[in-house]
């Protein structure tokens, strides 16, 4: 590695991180459903039973034989029993008979149709059903939603509430999910002061810690913030190696560019391994990736918007990949204004999403391009991606967006 390596292509950086993630997949654990929300499913799941498990009524009413109903006229049937949701009573409906039934109750043998209660009147054991319904009306068939053996959940899915509840409906108690990576977060720089403390000339408040911690938490992780690293190579090396011995991922921000105090690339080269340093992206060009001890290492550039762009565009590739998460669906929006991009790097511009009258997504690009301009990023809600090479984008062109 030279002091000033030439940047690699964004797609190459992504491919390297995907490879590293695949080689460092986190172990799978069998967790009770209550702890599976947000976890990435590690194996395909097949339905162990049918959904619905048995034919049952979709409505409160009367289970009967469709053959006994008349298109035009009301019919009078004999009430022979009651079946509520719960244990099946093994009732039988014969010709001219019906059974009172509630929603979710198993269908009695012989019955194929349910007439809702609102379409009935009852006098003792005589039930008058007024409505002509189709054969099989208001009956939920066994296996309608899933048959035993059907693949119902795919490995790589970050489990949402609906998917976890589907597992519950199938009687599954635990799911195989990837362990979440533990992440140590470092900020670096002698100029940094924590909010609440007075600022001396030349100092700034540490904003990247809250930025990174928030981005990681929004992705379901429980990162640990370490004390800010001073611009001192020995302290940097010892604290980072310390963290690398007990965390899956170590993320720093700052001290990866070309200055005298940018000690992190040399530290990683000396004590670990560098996968790449510098990517053809704007902002975020000095991004560093490698391995330190047992930990995967990401050295994000210090400028706040560079932290945002490198995390959303590449940091997540490593974090998702180590959990075996399937690629996130890409999102696109139409540009609300024309953009001229003269330079060669892939650019991540700030923009604000809105929904057009026809329901299509639009993004208004923000003029602020400086990677120090955090306020412009806070005013926006997404990064929009402009491809490598000079680009002339017209209003209405579709661009990929990374919402935050």
Q: Is the dihedral of CA 56, 60, 63, 67 positive or negative?
A: negative
Kindly state whether residue 97 participates in binding ligand LQZAQKY5, applying the rule CB under 6 A.
no
The neighbour count for residue 340, using CB atoms within 10 Å, is 9
Kindly state whether residue 284 participates in binding ligand MOO, applying the rule CB under 6 A.
yes
Is residue 260 within 8 Å of 276, Cβ to Cβ?
no
Rounded (5°) CA angle 385-390-393: 60
Site for ligand LQZAQKY5 in 351-390 (CB under 6 A): 371-372
Is residue 256 within 8 Å of 265, Cβ to Cβ?
yes
- Nearest-approach distance from CB 363 to ligand MOO, in angstroms: 20
The number of residues that bind ligand LQZAQKY5 (CB under 6 A) is 28
With respect to ligand MOO, which residue has the nearer C-beta, 94 or 390?
390
Burial 62-86 (b: 16+ CB within 10 A, else e): bbbbbebbeeeeebebebbeebeee
With respect to ligand LQZAQKY5, which residue has the nearer C-beta, 304 or 315?
304
Site for ligand LQZAQKY5 in 250-269 (CB under 6 A): 253-259, 262
Kindly state whether residue 299 participates in binding ligand MOO, applying the rule CB under 6 A.
no
| Binding segment toward ligand MOO, per CB under 6 A, in 54-62, 100-108, 122-130, 283-291 | 283-291
- Nearest-approach distance from CB 179 to ligand LQZAQKY5, in angstroms: 28
Site for ligand MOO in 339-378 (CB under 6 A): 371
Question: Which contiguous run of DSSP H or E holds residue 15?
Answer: helix 10-23
Which residue, among 119, 137, 129, 311, has the nearest Cα to 217 in the 3D structure? 311
- Nearest-approach distance from CB 370 to ligand MOO, in angstroms: 8
Binder of ligand MOO out of 299, 301, 351, 365 (CB under 6 A): 301
Which residue, among 38, 15, 62, has the nearest Cα to 216 in the 3D structure? 38
Residue ranges in contact with ligand LQZAQKY5 by CB under 6 A: 187-189, 191-192, 204, 206-209, 253-259, 262, 283, 285-286, 301-304, 306, 371-372
């Amino acid at each position: 590695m030279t002091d000033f390596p030439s940047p690699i292509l964004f797609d190459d950086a992504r491919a390297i991180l995907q490879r590293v993630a695949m080689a460092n997949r986190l172990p799978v654990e069998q967790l009770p459903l209550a702890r599976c929300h947000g976890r990435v499913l590690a194996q395909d799941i097949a339905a162990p039973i049918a959904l619905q498990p048995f034919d049952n009524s979709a409505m409160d009413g009367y289970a009967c034989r469709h053959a006994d109903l008349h298109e035009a006229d009301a019919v009078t049937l004999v009430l022979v029993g009651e079946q509520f949701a719960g244990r099946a009573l093994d009732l039988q409906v014969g010709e001219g008979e019906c059974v009172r039934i509630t929603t979710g109750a198993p269908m009695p043998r012989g019955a194929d149709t349910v007439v809702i209660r609102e379409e009935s009147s009852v006098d003792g054991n005589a039930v008058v059903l007024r409505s002509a319904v189709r054969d099989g009306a208001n009956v939920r068939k066994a296996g309608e939603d899933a048959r035993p053996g059907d693949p119902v959940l795919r490995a790589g899915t970050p489990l949402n509430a609906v998917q976890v509840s589907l597992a519950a409906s199938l009687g599954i108690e635990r799911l195989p999910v990837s362990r979440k990576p533990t992440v140590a977060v470092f900020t670096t720089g002698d100029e940094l002061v924590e909010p609440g403390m007075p600022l001396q000339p030349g100092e700034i408040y540490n904003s990247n810690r809250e930025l990174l911690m928030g981005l990681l938490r929004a992705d379901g992780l429980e990162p640990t913030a370490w004390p800010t690293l001073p611009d001192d190579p020995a302290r940097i090396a010892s604290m980072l190696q310390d963290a690398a011995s007990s965390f899956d991922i170590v993320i720093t921000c700052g001290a990866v560019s070309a200055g005298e105090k940018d000690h992190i690339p040399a530290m990683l080269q000396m004590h670990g391994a560098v996968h790449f340093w510098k990517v053809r992206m704007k902002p975020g060009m000095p991004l560093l990736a490698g391995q330190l001890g047992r930990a995967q290492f990401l050295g994000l550039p210090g400028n706040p918007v560079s932290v945002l762009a490198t995390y959303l565009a590449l940091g997540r590739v490593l974090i998702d990949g180590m959990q075996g998460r399937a690629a996130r669906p890409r999102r696109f929006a139409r540009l609300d204004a024309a953009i001229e991009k003269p330079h060669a790097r892939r650019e991540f511009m700030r923009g604000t999403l809105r929904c057009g009258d026809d329901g299509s997504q639009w993004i208004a690009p923000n003029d602020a391009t400086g990677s120090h301009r955090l306020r412009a990023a806070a005013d926006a809600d997404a990064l929009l991606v402009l491809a490598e090479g000079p680009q002339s984008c017209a209003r209405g062109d579709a661009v990929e967006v990374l919402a935050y």
